[in-house]
Amino acid sequence: MGIRPVMWRANIRAAKSRLEVFLVRHFLFLIAAVVSLSTSLFAQWPPAPGHTTLEVWPHGAPGAAAIPAPEGDTTTAKDHLVAGRAVVRIGNVSLPTLTLYRPTGKSTGAAVVVFPGGGYRILAIDLEGTEVCDWLNSAGITCVLLKYRVPDTGPYPKSAAALQDAQRALGMVRSHAAEWHIDPKRIGVLGFSAGAHLAAALSTHFDKRVYDPIDAADKISCRPDFAVIVYPGYLAIEEQNFAGNADIHPTEQTPPSFIVQAEDDPVHVENSTVYFLALKNAKVPAEMHLYAQGGHGYGLRRTELPVTGWPQLVETWLRTIQILPASAR
């Protein structure tokens, strides 16, 4: 008879332990689900309610050709995943827009216009767009996401359409600086792949608009105050033994630039090295980070590869060039 209470107590302790494990596991699962849901609600496309969206061309884009298919997500089941997740690939964009993402906490006054990549065919609008705005906002930086025209809208000068959108976007952002509480002298650009080429093109083609001005925003400088170039394309010509692109010619007026790429990038790391040397020769402050592995198109999604830690390097660089205050983070 004396053994049974001991056994009961042991069974109760075991049951309690199993219950605690069950509750902890489900609590952690619930927290992960909430975090995932909150992230997906913010970093989504189309933008969630509450984000200001402006048409880049209120009366139609210059020289716009008719696009036979409607704008939408062109992703298929055959498209590869990035860090285990799908990518929203927006195609057939004929109506370019700017979408404003404000910092949720204290603003530093700095702003970045983001150019998603996609080979001037599509826009990786979440991987290289909304998710980038989440990160920038967390650093106190206002993000303005440019949905520029695709397909066949670049690289410049093959087509001027994407550069037209980018020039117009920078002027518009500066024209709204007071309203959006940003410093008009701390507005930069950040681009990926083709979008990185677009950032470099804007950094070297800001002195003259490649379209006829339409309003006061086009009379404001469209020169970025800094540029972040992430796994760029079109900056070195493979058919010319990776010579620098003669249409992207840095001068002393080109803004300070940050470049990052992986050596095993199939788009070729020479796009970064050639552009860095051109910046150096033009006496433009530049910082470049090259990694052994990483491939192409990783965005901000963290993996075991060190290259995916590049956003923290950008934040440090922005403090170094005094775009962000030392206490921004």
H-helix or E-strand spanning residue 117:
none
The CA distance from 262 to 232, in Å, is 10
Average pLDDT over residues 51-65: 91
CB 204 within 8 A of CB 254: yes
The CA distance from 212 to 210, in Å, is 7
Q: What's residue 69's pLDDT?
A: 87
CB 44 within 8 A of CB 101: no
Q: Which of 91, 97, 106 is nearest to 61 (CA)?
A: 97
The CA distance from 86 to 271, in Å, is 27
The CB-based long-range contact list for 311-316 (8 Å cut-off, 24+ gap) reads 311/135, 313/258, 313/260, 313/289, 314/190, 314/228, 314/258, 315/139
pLDDT band for position 26 (cuts 50, 70, 90): very low
The CA distance from 206 to 225, in Å, is 11
State the amino acid at position 279 in one-letter form: L
Segments in 43-145 forming alpha helices (H) = 131-138
In words, the CATH class of domain 50-320 is alpha beta
Encode pLDDT of 257-287 as tens digits: 999 999 999 999 999 999 999 999 999 999 9
Q: What's residue 104's pLDDT?
A: 87
Encode pLDDT of 150-171 as tens digits: 999 999 999 999 999 999 999 9
Q: 41-69 as b/e, with b when 16 or more CB fall inside 10 Å?
A: ebbebebeeeeeeeebbeeebbeeeebee
CB 147 within 8 A of CB 94: no
Average pLDDT over residues 199-219: 97
Average pLDDT over residues 124-141: 97
Q: Is the pLDDT of residue 24 over 80?
A: no
The model's pTM is: 0.86
Q: CA-based diameter of the chain, in Å?
A: 98
